[in-house]
Amino acid sequence: MSKRVMVVDDSRLVRVQLGDVLEGTDYEIAAYCRSGEDAIAQYDEVNPDLVTMDIIMTGMDGLDASEIILKKHPDARIVMISSLAYDDTYKRAESIGVKGFIDKPFHREQLLKIFQQALG
Ligand SMILES: [Mg+2]
């Protein structure tokens, strides 16, 4: 059975790219969210197996959104996808309980490997 992924990114281009990359894999996109607020609002209903979370978004950033989701759902599996990779970003992501980190631009193999690790 395919795993359901909730994609959170304020860039339409990145949302489309993720959809393309996951086409034909064991992952299906269950929902697209354009903001952290949207992700928090949709998480309960979508109940995804995995979330990909952008960091820099208009409004709430991906780290704050992840923290709120993980407080409510400690078993949520969230991987960050971002071109912003400062040490303190990694540290904060780790302390929140994020399962992985994918740098933009991402590649299919790298993405699938980190998804697998996050679900394992
Ligand atoms: Mg962004």
- What is the maximum alpha-carbon separation in the chain? 37
- Ligand 1: distance of its center to the CA of 44 in Å? 23
Question: 108: phi > 0 → left, psi -120 to 50 → alpha, else beta; which?
Answer: alpha
> Over 90: is that where the pLDDT of 8 sits?
yes
Distance 58 CA to ligand 1 centre (A): 7
Q: Check if the beta carbon of residue 77 is closer than 8 Å to that of residue 99.
A: yes
pLDDT of residue 85: 65
Which residue segments constitute the domains of the chain, with CATH numbers given? Answer: 3-119 (3.40.50.2300)
User: Which residues are in the CB-under-5-Å shell of ion ligand 1?
Assistant: 10, 54, 56-57
Q: Could you give the C-alpha distances from 58 to 2, 32, 83, 96, 111, in angstroms and in order?
A: 31, 15, 16, 21, 24
Return the pLDDT at 1: 83
pTM confidence score: 0.95
| Cα 1 to ligand 1 centre (Å) | 30
- Report the separation in Å between the CA atom of 62 and the middle of ligand 1, taken as the mean of its atom positions: 9
